[in-house]
C-alpha cells in the first residue's frame, strides 16, 4: 500500500554472512587460508551480543536472513531504507594488505547479496568498507565501488592509531569528496589489534569499554575540526554512527571556548568549530541516552541542532537495539520528520 508520508530511514542496520565461508569465497590466496572470520576479541558482550529474537527460523546469526529482517524490522516499523553497516573488523589487522583484502571481500559479498540478489525493491543501501591502515588502497577501493547504485557511503571503524583529522587520511577524504560519498565512523576495534585504546589503559569489563566508546568519537571529531579537514575538503560529510549523542553539545561548548583563546594556533579555521557541524557532520541516534526526565533529552536535542544533524538508527540486530516506537519521547512533528527521515534523505539522496 502507498504510504501517506515517507517511511523511516534506519541509518545503522548490520547484515551478517551466514558463515565465514561466504567471505572466504571472495578472498584470494594467501588471504583465503589466513581468514578465520571476524570479531572484536576480548571486548565482547558477556551475556548476549544480539537480540534474543533475532536468530532466523532457518538458523544462522541475527541479521543473516534478509527475509526475516524484512518481516521483523522493515515491515513492522514501516522502514523505507536500511543503511547497511557490515562488520568486517578489518581495521585491527597489523598487515595492511590483509586488511585491504578483507575489506574488498566484504564489499564484493555485500554487492552480490544484500545489494544485489536480496535487494529486489532497493530498500537496502550499502556502505563501502575500507581498511584505513593503507589510505591509498582505501581510496582505490572507494573509486572501485563509487558508481554502484546502492552504495551510499564509506565506512570504517573508530579504532585507529591516530585521530582522523591527521593528514595521512587525506586520500580517503579526497576520494569521498570526489564521489560525493559521506564518510561514516562506527565503533568496534578500539584498543584491539594495532589500534589505540581511547581510555588511559584498558578497561576491565565490557560495560566499562562499551560506555566509553564515545570517547574515541569525541577525539576524532575534535581532530577533524581543528586540523581543518572541512576547509581542505569543503564537500566532505562525516557520519558518527553508534557513538552516542548527548556528549555533543558539551564538547562543542568546550571546543568553542578553547578556540576563543587559541584560534591563532589553527588559523585555517574560518569560523567557530561548532559552526561546521550543520554543513559537514551527521550523527545517528543509537544508543540514545535517556535521562529519567524526557525534558532533559529534549533540551539536549535542541542544543545539538538535532533538527539538522541527527538521524535515526536502530542498531538491528544487536542487544541494545532502539525501537523506532520507543527510542524517543514524543517529538514535535517537524523534528520527528527530520530525525526519522528528512536528514538521511538529504544526506544520501534518497
pTM: 0.96
pLDDT of residue 59: 87
- Rounded Cα–Cα distance for residues 121 and 108 (Å): 20
- Rounded Cα–Cα distance for residues 273 and 340 (Å): 26
Instruction: Read off the C-alpha cell for 89.
Output: 573488523
> Cβ(228)–Cβ(268) under 8 Å?
yes
pLDDT of residue 1: 38
pLDDT of residue 49: 82
pLDDT of residue 51: 85
- Rounded Cα–Cα distance for residues 167 and 104 (Å): 23
With 0-12 CB in 10 A as exposed, 13-18 as middle and 19+ as buried, what is 54?
buried
Instruction: Output the CA torsion sign for 323, 324, 325, 327.
Output: positive
Residue in 68, 61, 67 with CA at minimum distance from that of residue 86: 61
Q: What is the DSSP letter of 318?
A: B
**Across-strand partners of 127?**
153
Cis peptide before 317 (omega within 30 of 0): yes
- Rounded Cα–Cα distance for residues 289 and 72 (Å): 24
- Sheet order of strands, 310-311 included: 8-13, 79-84, 124-129, 151-157, 183-186, 238-240, 281-284, 310-311
pLDDT of residue 188: 84
Q: Which domains does the chain have, with CATH numbers?
A: 12-37+95-348 (3.20.20.140)
What Å distances lie between residue 162 and 40, 51, 153, 191, CA to CA? 19, 33, 22, 12
pLDDT of residue 48: 78
- Ordered alpha helix ranges (H), 180-303: 206-211, 214-226, 229-232, 247-262, 277-280, 294-303
The pLDDT profile of the chain, 350 residues, written as one tens digit per residue, is 344 457 999 999 999 999 999 999 999 999 999 998 766 667 778 877 888 888 899 888 999 999 999 999 999 999 999 999 999 999 999 999 999 999 999 999 999 999 999 999 999 999 999 999 999 999 999 999 999 999 999 999 999 999 999 999 999 999 999 999 999 999 989 988 899 999 999 999 989 999 999 999 999 999 999 999 999 999 999 999 999 999 999 999 999 999 999 999 999 999 999 999 999 999 999 999 999 999 999 999 999 999 999 999 999 999 889 999 999 999 999 999 999 999 999 999 99
Amino acid at each position: 500500500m502507498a504510504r501517506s508520508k515517507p517511511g523511516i530511514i534506519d541509518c545503522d542496520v548490520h547484515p551478517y554472512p551466514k558463515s565465514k565461508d561466504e567471505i572466504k569465497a571472495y578472498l584470494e590466496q594467501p588471504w583465503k587460508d589466513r581468514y578465520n572470520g571476524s570479531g572484536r576479541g576480548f571486548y565482547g558482550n558477556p551475556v548476549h551480543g544480539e537480540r534474543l529474537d533475532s536468530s532466523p527460523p532457518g538458523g544462522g546469526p541475527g541479521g543473516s536472513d534478509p527475509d526475516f529482517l524484512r518481516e521483523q524490522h522493515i515491515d513492522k516499523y514501516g522502514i523505507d531504507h536500511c543503511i547497511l553497516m557490515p562488520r568486517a573488523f578489518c581495521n585491527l589487522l597489523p598487515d595492511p594488505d590483509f586488511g585491504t583484502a578483507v575489506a574488498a571481500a566484504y564489499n564484493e559479498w555485500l554487492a552480490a547479496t544484500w545489494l544485489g540478489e536480496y535487494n529486489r525493491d532497493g530498500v537496502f543501501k550499502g556502505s563501502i568498507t575500507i581498511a584505513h591502515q593503507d589510505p591509498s588502497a582505501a581510496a582505490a577501493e572507494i573509486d572501485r565501488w563509487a558508481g554502484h547504485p546502492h552504495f551510499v557511503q564509506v565506512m570504517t571503524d573508530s579504532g585507529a592509531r591516530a585521530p582522523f583529522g591527521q593528514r595521512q587520511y587525506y586520500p580517503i577524504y579526497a576520494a569521498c569528496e570526489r564521489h560525493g560519498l559521506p564518510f561514516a565512523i562506527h565503533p568496534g576495534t578500539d584498543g584491539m589489534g594495532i589500534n589505540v585504546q581511547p581510555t588511559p589503559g584498558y578497561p576491565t569489563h565490557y560495560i566499562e569499554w562499551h560506555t566509553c566508546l564515545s570517547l574515541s568519537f569525541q577525539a576524532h571529531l575534535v581532530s577533524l575540526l581543528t586540523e581543518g579537514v572541512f576547509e581542505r575538503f569543503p564537500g566532505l560529510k562525516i557520519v558518527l554512527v553508534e557513538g552516542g549523542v548527548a556528549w555533543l553539545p558539551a564538547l562543542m561548548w568546550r571546543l568553542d571556548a578553547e578556540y576563543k583563546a587559541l584560534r591563532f594556533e589553527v588559523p585555517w579555521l574560518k569560523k567557530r568549530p561548532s559552526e561546521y557541524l550543520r554543513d559537514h557532520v551527521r550523527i545517528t541516534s543509537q544508543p540514545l541516552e535517556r535521562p529519567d526526565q524526557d525534558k532533559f533529552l529534549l533540551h539536549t536535542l535542541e542544543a545539538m541542532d538535532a533538527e539538522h544533524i541527527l538521524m535515526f538508527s536502530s542498531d538491528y540486530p544487536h542487544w541494545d537495539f532502539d525501537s523506532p516506537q520507543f527510542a524517543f519521547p514524543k517529538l514535535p512533528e517537524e523534528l520527528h520528520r527530520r530525525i526519522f527521515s528528512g536528514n538521511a534523505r538529504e544526506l544520501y539522496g534518497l
